[in-house]
Amino acid sequence: MIVKSRGRMALLGFVLAGALAFALSLAEDPARSWRVYLASDVYLLSLSLAAAAFLAVERLSKAAWSASIRRVPEAMVAFLPAGCLLLLLAGFGLDDLYAWANAETVAGDHHLARRTLFLNASLFYAQVVGYGVLWTWLARRVVREPGRRSARSSALFLVVLLFTFTLASVSWILSLDPEWSTPLFPWYLLSSVYAGGLGAIAGLVLLVLPDARIEHRHDLGKFLFAFSVFWGYLWYCQFMLTWYADFPEETSHYHLVLSPGWAPWFWITALLGLAFPFLLLPARAKRNRPLLLAVAAVVVAAHWLDVLLLVVPAAHGSEAGLGFADLVVGLGFAALFLLLFDLSLRRASMRAAGEAA
């Protein structure tokens, strides 16, 4: 319906190119390529979660307007199980990714040794499988159940998501840099992926539902604006409080991302994630279709960069900055996400049942 078969072949081509780029870079610098893999997979997985969370929030607030665009976030949930499976594959790179997975490193660091109670290989796999099953099951219920029963599932999903996402963000992302601790981290990541998720919802609605009502596009623009500003607020707060307190265990990450090789990427992320939506989407501009589409795409890219910056800089011994290969790997994941999105979209009518226009 939305993607012609040639488009599907192109997406498949992107997936293969991404896999090839990943395989090539794996031979060269495994620590770094596993991190790009992890960041891209966790980001797209989180976009699926954000879509499910959006549906749950809409259901719980009894919002009626979003009925006409429901199909898009519903189809975005399709990547969820695939994303968890791909994360399970990151188990092959556990040694390269996490200091806590390396017995020698742990033996020489008594701080790290204490943390292995939570940070260890079996618990990593258990979390990927457990959260994957739990999220997929609850998200399906949020998507499929009608009315009142769905409200109960939605509430359950949101509560479970907040607890499990907090644990997952610490064990999958924050633990990559064993020297860095920041109490705001789970919230920070959540705000980033939710803003990215709203960008993806707005962008995909504009692409696959060209006749969506202008008021609904306007509402999506408002969501995108609000959560971009929320992310910007947390981005600044985390940075400013870390700078002000100046504790070594909190500043290590900022020393890395503000080093010459990474600093441009750090500022570009803030520019794309906060300045662009803030300056380009004033009141009525949200009704301008090409403009909203462009800002949505920029926001999705900005939060991918944001997650990459949390993950990649701490890779030991690799060059600072991002390159073409990283982009190809990211696009490969995005293409897989779009393929599953398209597959899921063509299974149902584009309009939710009982929806007038």
Partner 1 sequence: MQPDTKTVVGVFPDPRSLVEAARAARERGHPPRDAYTPHPVHGLDEALGIRANRLPHAALILGATGLAVALLFQFWVVAIDWPARLGGKNERSILPLVPIAFELTVLFAAIGTVLVFFAQERLWPGRAPRHPSPRALDDGFVLVIDVPAGEVESVREFLAGSGAGEVRVEGGG
**Residues making contact with partner 1 (CB under 8 A):** 215, 233, 236-237, 240, 243-244, 246, 283-284
Q: How far is the CB of 21 from partner 1 (least distance, A)?
A: 39
Q: How far is it, in rounded angstroms, from Cα 115 to Cα 319?
A: 28
Q: How far is the CB of 157 from partner 1 (least distance, A)?
A: 29
Contacts 24+ apart (CB under 8 A), 232-235: 232/270, 232/273, 232/274, 232/278, 234/184, 234/187, 234/188, 234/191, 235/188, 235/270, 235/273, 235/274, 235/306
d(CA 309, CA 112): 23
Return the residue matching tokens 């996490």: 98
Residue 240 CB, shortest distance to partner 1, in Å, is 6
Q: What is the DSSP letter of 352?
A: P
Q: Where are the alpha helices (DSSP H) in 61-109?
A: 71-76, 79-89, 94-97, 103-107
DSSP state of 172: I
Instruction: Give 48 or 191: the residue with its C-beta nearer to partner 1.
Output: 191
Closest distance to partner 1 from the beta carbon of 278 (Å): 12
Question: What distance in Å separates the CA atoms of residue 75 and residue 94, rounded to the nearest whole number?
Answer: 31
Measure the CA–CA gap between 212 and 202, rounded to whole angstroms: 11
CA distance 276 to 11: 28
Contact in structure between 312 and 35 (CB atoms under 8 Å): yes
* Nearest CB to partner 1, comparing residues 16 and 283: 283
Query: 320: helix, coil or strand?
Result: coil
Q: In the bound complex, what is the minimum distance in angstroms from residue 64's beta carbon to partner 1?
A: 11
- CB-nearer residue toward partner 1: 29 or 219: 219
Smallest distance, Å, CB 208 to partner 1?
25
Q: Cβ 236 to partner 1, closest distance in Å? A: 7
Report in angstroms how near the CB of residue 67 gets to partner 1 at its nearest: 14
Q: CA 20 to CA 332: how far, in whole Å?
A: 9
Closest CB to partner 1 among 14 and 235? 235
